[in-house]
Amino acid sequence: MVSADQNRRQAVRVKDRLLLTSSKLGQDRFAAIARNYQNGISLYNQKEVGEIAIYLGSQASLSRIRERDEDLADFLQYLDAKLSRILAEVSKGPSPFDILQAQEVTLSGTGLAFSSKDQFAVGDLLELHLVLLPEFLYIYAIAKAVSSEKIPAAEPGFNFQVACEFALIMEEDREALIRHLFKRQHLALRNQRMPEQEDTP
């Protein structure tokens, strides 16, 4: 049973910019993933999800290194980019980064709303790959569309506004997401107070 405190934490909602890709997921595949998860198999044990997690793990490490030594981080970033190009040429396929797009979203511990190039129907299951910035925290989740509306496109091709609720997300990922939201909320409140402080004689 979810406590009132947990409800409050999950209800925190912020506007954020992150990396995201979404695609429709079939009921059969969802049932197989959910069954494996109930049997103790991590959501990240899927081949394509694991590959993205490994790739983005290196980006997260680079982000932490940059906080301590920017020159070393620049050098490692150069090596990582060069290795990625070599691997792309060998595999003849896109890198995990190529499927992700920077987007403005409204995010909470229970789901998110975002603009989409694809039209989804209410009740559709969506496979989501999210990367929270600047820490490059990767979260894989499955969500259910609760609304989908045609809108004037703010960006070319993004003609639909989709809101969805998480149907399957690892609890440690939800907690990491909520911590990220509180950081964003704190930063926004601090930035709102700064002009007031500057005006104070």
Q: pLDDT tens digits, residue range 21-37?
A: 999 999 999 999 999 99
Tell me the β-bridge partners of 107. 14, 112
Q: What is the pLDDT of residue 48?
A: 77
Q: What's the rounded Cα separation, in Å, for the pair 75 and 73?
A: 5
Residues 123-152 have pLDDT tens digits of 999 999 999 988 888 999 999 999 999 988
Q: What is the pLDDT of residue 193?
A: 73
Distances, alpha carbon 159 to alpha carbons 24, 79, 100, 153, 154, in Å: 16, 38, 18, 5, 8
Of 49 and 73, the one with more pLDDT:
49
- Please give the CATH superfamily to which domain 10-199 belongs: predicted glycosyltransferase like domains (2.40.10.220)
Contact 99, 138 (CB under 8 A): no
Section 73-82 average pLDDT: 66
Query: Among candidates 130, 127, 143, 116, which has minimal Cα distance to 181?
Result: 130
Tell me the residue type at 72.
L
Q: What is the pLDDT of residue 74?
A: 73
pLDDT > 60? residue 201: no
Q: What percent of the chain has pLDDT over 70?
A: 74
Q: What's the rounded Cα separation, in Å, for the pair 17 and 36?
A: 31
Mean pLDDT of the chain: 82
Q: Label residue 56 exposed, middle or buried (CB < 10 Å: 0-12, 13-18, 19+).
A: buried
Contact 73, 65 (CB under 8 A): yes
What residues does each domain of the chain span? 10-199
Neighbour tally for 53: CB within 10 Å: 19
Residue 195, helix vs strand vs coil: helix
Residues 163-193 have pLDDT tens digits of 999 999 999 999 999 999 999 888 877 777 7
Residue 108, helix vs strand vs coil: strand
Contact 134, 63 (CB under 8 A): yes
Query: Among candidates 94, 123, 125, 135, which has minimal Cα distance to 22?
Result: 125
